[in-house]
Homo-oligomer: A and B are copies of this chain.
Amino acid sequence: MAVSTNKRTRIQGINRGIILDAALEVFSAYGFRGSTIDQIAAKAGMSKPNLLYYFPRKEDIYVTVLEKTLEDWLTPFRDIDPDGDPVEELRKYTILKMKMSAAQPASSQLFANEILHGAPAIQEFLKTNLKQLVDEKAAVIKAWIADGRLAPVDPHHLIFMIWATTQHYADFDVQVQAILPEESRQPEFFDSAADAVLTILLNGIKPR
């Protein structure tokens, strides 16, 4: 992490990156209201006024982290290939999302928290950019169905289902870990989770 973000100078690039990394951890754990600038500053290893030198308001940090995160999570969705094999494309996408849930639960949690509380910072984005992208991919799925290469299911709800299921493992991790039998709670646990999810999902949408 710690990717330099819009570096005007060398130091700016480094420090903005450090701050955003710290902010992701803090905001995802405690939510916007539950996080303090002091916490983020401490985690970033700098004083509060120094942090405010880079991001004048708490909200600026939050929105910046959120937007960066959103882009990350949308990339694999964009990459769904209309010319690929339907089942294979959806398997690939689902596995990728499961892997992201395992590797970066914090960013999924940050996003979940934002939506859960009414998406005050990104409602516009959802209604415009995201909606357009989803409509696009829904059309692709519709075409696959028309060609008889996928069972007839509502594309939007199929997309929701993949999102819900995969992100569940990041967002509800505490619950998953509390419930799963001890022997399943290994590092490779995500593989078997992906297996189970894919079995049900793919059998559910294969053409009949």
Contact = CB atoms under 8 A, between A and B. Distances in A.
Nearest to A120: B174
Nearest to A164: B168
Which secondary structure dominates where chain A touches chain B? helix
A151 B179 CA distance: 22
Given A34-B34, A164-B164, A156 B175 contact: no
A1 interface: no
A115 B171 contact: yes
Given A113-B113, A161-B197, A131 B31 contact: no
A30 B157 contact: no
A25 to B, nearest CB: 13
A109 interface: yes
Contact of A165 (B29, B34, B109, B164): B164
Q: Which of A113, A126, A175, A184 has the most CB of B within 10 A?
A: A175
A105 B66 CA distance: 24
Given A29-B117, A116-B113, A204-B200, A160 B153 contact: no
17 contacts: A30-B33, A31-B117, A33-B33, A34-B34, A115-B172, A116-B171, A118-B174, A130-B175, A130-B178, A151-B200, A153-B199, A158-B196, A160-B168, A160-B172, A161-B165, A163-B172, A200-B201
